[in-house]
Amino acid sequence: MVPSFLARDRIVAGPGFSRWLIPPAALCVHLCIGQAYATSVYKTALVEHFDTSLTAIGVIFSIAIVMLGLSAAVCGTWVDHNGPRAAMFTAACFWSAGFLVAALGIGTEQLWLVYLGYGVIGGIGLGIGYISPVSTLIKWFPDRPGLATGLAIMGFGGGALIASPLSSRLMQLYDQSGYDATDPSSVADGHAVTMLFVTLGIVYFAFMMFGAWTVRVPPEGWKPEGWDPAEVREKRLVTTASVSAGNAIRTPQFWLLWTVLFCNVTAGIGILEQAAPMIQDFFRDSSGASTVTATAAAGFVGLLSLANMGGRFVWSSTSDVVGRKPIYMLYLGGGIVLYLLLATVGDTAVALFVLLAAVIISWYGGGFSTVPAYLRDLFGTFEVGAIHGRLLTAWSAAGIAGPLIINGFLDAQGTPGELTADAYRPALLTMVGVLVIGLVANVLIRAVDPRFHEPAASDDLERSAT
Amino acid sequence: MSERSDASARMRLRIVGAWALVGIPLAYGLVETLRKAADLFTG
């Protein structure tokens, strides 16, 4: 099925191998594919280069996110069966090829090639890359799955933090028209973006290959020193049985969790989508001018990126202690309260607004990174990567629904950047409703009915206990 | 015994190297983002 050098049996860890090499291997992939969140850096340059609308350029990102969900869902079982090296290698090839094809499209002024390259080919790399280390991390860290997946998925947030300033500097280096990365009104030329894409394609390929060659799977029956699998059995909602991906999607638990993720992501996108104009609109003086400068608004976006990344690690690790269901009660229930505060008193002080938004976004990030561990708890480790892949279709759906909701309400009120806090209230209250649906779905989650369990006693935890 | 400690030292070196490879770019991104975020309070 895959060349022998990629096969799962070639990467079984030998004696003395440390599991602490697995998180950096996973980060090598997630830090690269996290670039997807840094597309705004060259968005204006592409609009000018192709002489087209912002919407036409925004479609590139939308295609990539839809392909992420679809490829994760379709390829999840393949990833689980062939192991993390094959998955990381494949993701690197697609992600890198996507950049190179898109570079060709920019260089030849063929926008459809950018759609095909970054959107379709790169999007497949995104989906396979996103799920590639998840089940391996869970198997290496059965005692702390939240911490392990939090570390990797934090990398997806961190990737944007690296790619954004790095892309600005590279474009300045390649630009031939006097582009100044420190001047927000300056725009890079097409040549600079082409060369940026070529550079990123090559660098990301090398980086992801390091991850692919470092990753290992634990030998059969391996467990962390001093860890007793019996501890897992004592926790509520944590199974030691195995549920296949095919059976998982027949359970109400899968669809309830799908709804939870969809609602959490939709609500988070509500803020992320409009962060910069939103903070300026919330604070206006009597003449209607915003008291928050464009530079400060950009700083707010940076702060949200930090909250998004930090939340992925902090909240997912916390879930190992407090449990997965309670932590989602916090993300969703707490989100309801904070969204209500944002809608009603968010415009009283900038510090309060920033605090509320940052905590909401940290829960948005936490929702992403905690979900693999929640799946492990409900369905076991057997095909958790494949189940995770299918669940990520909720992200794709939210990627469409979130902006539609927020833009739909704001378009009816005027133009973002010229609105007031009152104009955001209907959209924010709608997000409260979305979070209530997610909260109810989370409350309804119970242990999976044993009829969905695999008939053979093939549970990894039980094997490792004997 | 010394072979085992050599292997253990090599593994520790690999761990440090791997974490540095991902940690250094991440630290660069964090610093750049913190500088940008500071504009929220000064800009």
Q: Are residue A196 and residue A341 in the same domain, yes or no? A: no
Domain identity same for A145 and A283:
no
Give the ipTM of the model, two decimals please: 0.92
- Has residue A219 been placed in a domain? no
- Please determine, for residue A234, whether its predicted confidence score (pLDDT) is greater than 70: no
pLDDT of A374 reads: 95
A50 interfacial to chain B (CB closer than 8 Å): no
A250-286 pLDDT per residue, tens: 999 999 999 999 999 999 987 887 888 889 899 988 8
Mean pLDDT computed over A356-383: 94
Cα distance between residue A120 and residue A448, in whole Å: 35
Q: Report the percentage of chain A scoring pLDDT > 90.
A: 64
Mean pLDDT computed over B7-18: 93
pLDDT digits (tens, 9 = 90+) for A78-95: 998 999 999 999 999 999
Residue A342 corresponds to which tokens in the numbers above? 């944002």
DSSP states along A429-464: HHHHHHHHHHHHHHHT--PPPGGGS-SS---HHHHH
- Please indicate, yes or no, whether residues A144 and A255 belong to a single structural domain of this protein: no
Report the distance separating Cα A424 and Cα A248, nearest Å.
39
Give the residue-averaged pLDDT of A21-48.
92
Identify the pLDDT of residue A417: 67
Task: Tell me the nearest-neighbour CA distance from A293 into chain B, angstroms.
Answer: 7
Residue that wins the pLDDT comparison between A443 and A401: A443
Whether residue A366 is predicted with pLDDT greater than 80 in this model: the reply is: yes
Question: Does residue A223 lie in a domain region?
Answer: no
* pLDDT above 80 (res A405): yes
Task: Say whether A296 and B43 touch across the interface (CB within 8 A).
Answer: yes
Q: Do residues A105 and A132 share a domain?
A: yes
* B28 pLDDT above the threshold of 70: yes
Facing A24 at nearest CB: one of B11, B19, B43: B19
Write out chain A residues lying below 8 Å of B38, CB-based: 299
Please tell me the predicted confidence (pLDDT) of residue A465: 41
Question: In this structure, what are the phi and psi dihedrals at residue A13, rounded to the nearest 5 degrees?
Answer: -65, 135
Average pLDDT of span A102-109: 97
Query: Average pLDDT of A200-224?
Result: 95
Contacts of B25 in chain A (CB under 8 A): 31, 162
Phi and psi of A284, rounded to 5°?
Answer: -125, 145
Q: Which residues contact A264 (CB under 8 A, 6 or more apart)?
A: A328, A331, A332, A335, A363, A364, A367, A435, A438
Query: Are A202 and A265 found together in one domain?
Result: no
How many CB atoms neighbour CB A100 within 10 A? 18
A377 shares a domain with A311: yes
Instruction: For the beta carbon of residue A185, count every other beta carbon within 10 angstroms.
Output: 7
- Residues A207, A312, single domain; the answer is no
Q: Give the number of other Cβ atoms within 10 Å of residue A295's Cβ.
A: 14
Whole-angstrom Cα distance, residue A72 to residue A343?
35
Q: Which domain holds residue A247?
A: 230-465
Mean pLDDT of A371-386: 92
Main-chain phi, psi angles of A256, to 5 degrees: -65, -40
Q: Are residues A245 and A306 in the same domain?
A: yes
CB contact under 8 A, A24 and B33: no
Domain count, chain A: 2
Name the closest residue on chain A to residue B19, using Cα atoms: A24
Name the pLDDT band for B27 (thresholds 50, 70, 90): very high
For residue A163, which residues of chain B lie inside 8 Å, CB to CB?
29
Confidence of residue B21 (pLDDT cuts 50, 70, 90): very high
Q: For position A462, what pLDDT does the model report?
A: 45
Task: Indicate whether A418 pLDDT > 80.
Answer: no
Q: Is residue A327 part of a domain?
A: yes
The structure tokens 């997807």 sit at: A36
Q: Are residues A128 and A249 in the same domain?
A: no
Q: Of A214, A242, A257, which residue sits at a domain end?
A: A214
Q: Which of A180, A214, A248 is the C-terminal boundary of a domain?
A: A214
A224 domain-assigned? no
In a domain, A22, yes or no: yes
- B5, B32, B36: which to substitute to probe chain A, counting the most A Cβ within 10 Å? B36
Q: Among A183-187, A198-202, B27-31, whose mean pLDDT is lowest?
A: A183-187
Query: Are B37 and A158 in contact (CB < 8 Å)?
Result: no
Q: Kindly state the percentage of chain A with pLDDT values over 70.
A: 96
Do A400 and A254 share a structural domain? yes
State the pLDDT confidence band at A416, using cuts at 50, 70 and 90: low
pLDDT at A456: 63
Specify the pLDDT at position A463.
43
Are A298 and B25 within 8 A, CB to CB?
Answer: no
**CATH number, domain containing residue A152:** 1.20.1250.20
Does residue A225 lie in a domain region?
no
The reply to whether A249 and A385 lie within a common domain is: yes
Which tokens sit at A122? 């790169």
R_g over Cα of chain B: 18
Residue A412 has pLDDT above 50, yes or no: yes
Is the per-residue pLDDT at A197 higher than 80? Answer: yes
What is the mean predicted confidence (pLDDT) over A349-360?
94
pLDDT band for A233, please (50, 70, 90 cuts): low
